Amino acid sequence: MVSYGKPGITRCGSLELEWGKRTYVMGIVNATPDSFSGDGLGFDVHAALEQALRFEAEGADIIDVGGESTRPGYTIVDADEEIRRVVPVIQLLASRLTIPISVDTYKYAVAREALAVGAAMINDVWGLKQDTALADLAAKEGVPIILMHNQKGTSYTDLIPEVMTSLQISLGQALESGVPYGNVILDPGLGFGKAPEHNLEILRRLQEFKRLDMPILVGTSRKSAIGLVLDLPVEERLEGTAATVALSIANGSDIVRVHDVKAMTRVSRMSDAIVRGWSG
């Protein structure tokens, strides 16, 4: 078992993430034409800036910029195309935002170019399973890296132990590459390589992931499991997302990754007041 300290602090650009003090909100900016959530901005960098500035004003702590959709049946794009999508956005956002920017990619070349123009965090949806060199990059640049559980297919013998073991392997790879404990964040990967019932079970048993003694990010925003449970299209999943965010905080999440920043910041603050305490 590893320890990042209690409460522990991770520096991300100008932001100090004080784990255990409160829940941090990561706002999603999709520089894609085909986001599952219907908010893909394509190559409109000014729309991306407008959205990011609004998210900052609404309480986001970090902006996560991605250039490849991960929706079911998504089309893989090569690194050059992904760079063409995300680098201009990150460069513009870095010049205007006071909060840090994360790059959502599992490709070394994309992450390298994103960090060069102002990104301060790597969000790897494959947890180093596609490219272990991302850990080398994070170590060299001294930036935090989010390692998410993902797999091809949705077959499990024992869901929670298998996901936790996979995350421990990813963590070990990062540490071997020289990434400090304090710069690793783990994500159980809701909606990735999992059936809807798996996603619900992970949320229900999220507290078990605290055994890893690492900060946990949870991304449930507008996910298909919410749509299936409530029988609602993606644009009507706000309340379902709010329920998952509140319960994930109650069960130990440290960061929530969301599309609806204003509403989920309020949900997070109320949940924190109950879970972590409130002094008025």
Per-residue pLDDT at 32: 82
Q: What total number of domains does the chain contain?
A: 1
Residue 14 lies in a domain: no
Report how far residue 243's alpha carbon sits from residue 226's, in angstroms, rounded to the nearest whole number: 10
Per-residue pLDDT at 42: 59
Greatest C-alpha distance within the chain:
50
pTM: 0.93
Residue 8 lies in a domain: no
Per-residue pLDDT at 69: 77
Per-residue pLDDT at 41: 59
Instruction: Give the CATH number of the domain where residue 239 resides.
Output: 3.20.20.20
pLDDT band, very low/low/confident/very high, at 36 (cuts 50, 70, 90): very low
Counting residues of the chain whose pLDDT is more than 90, the rounded percentage is 87
Per-residue pLDDT at 72: 62
Amino acid at 219: G
> Which listed residue (257, 262, 266, 269) is catalytic?
257
* Domain span holding position 112: 22-272
> Which listed residue (107, 112, 129, 223) is catalytic?
223
Per-residue pLDDT at 279: 85
Per-residue pLDDT, averaged over 159-175, amounts to: 98
**Worst-scoring range by mean pLDDT, 4-13, 197-206, 242-251?**
4-13
Residue 7 lies in a domain: no
Report how far residue 85's alpha carbon sits from residue 65's, in angstroms, rounded to the nearest whole number: 10
Residue 279 lies in a domain: no
Task: List pLDDT tens digits, range 87-141.
Answer: 999 999 999 999 999 999 999 999 999 999 999 999 999 999 999 999 999 999 9
Structure tokens at 213: 């003694």
* Contact call for residues 145 and 183 (beta carbons, < 8 A): yes
pLDDT of residue 3 exceeding 50 = no
Task: Mark whether 257 is an active-site residue.
Answer: yes
Per-residue pLDDT, averaged over 233-253, amounts to: 97
Residue 165 lies in a domain: yes
Report how far residue 26's alpha carbon sits from residue 56's, in angstroms, rounded to the nearest whole number: 10
How are strands ordered across the β-sheet holding 62-66?
A: 184-187, 145-148, 121-124, 101-104, 62-66, 24-30, 255-258, 217-218
Residue (of 85, 96, 134) closest to 118 by Cα position = 96
Task: Mark whether 107 is an active-site residue.
Answer: no
pLDDT band, very low/low/confident/very high, at 34 (cuts 50, 70, 90): low
Residue 145 lies in a domain: yes
pLDDT of residue 162 exceeding 80 = yes
* DSSP codes joined into one string, the chain: -----SS-EEEETTEEEETTT--EEEEEEE-SS--TTS---TT-HHHHHHHHHHHHHHT-SEEEEESS--STTPPP--HHHHHHHHHHHHHHHHHH-SS-EEEE-S-HHHHHHHHHTT--EEEETTTTSS-THHHHHHHHHT--EEEE---SS---SSHHHHHHHHHHHHHHHHHHTT--GGGEEEE--TTSS--HHHHHHHHHTGGGGGGG-S-BEE--TT-HHHHHHHT--GGG-HHHHHHHHHHHHHTT-SEEEES-HHHHHHHHHHHHHHHT----
Residue 162 lies in a domain: yes
Amino acid at 87: V
pLDDT band, very low/low/confident/very high, at 8 (cuts 50, 70, 90): confident
Residue 138 lies in a domain: yes
Residue (of 182, 192, 117, 176) closest to 145 by Cα position = 182
Q: Output the average pLDDT for the chain.
A: 92
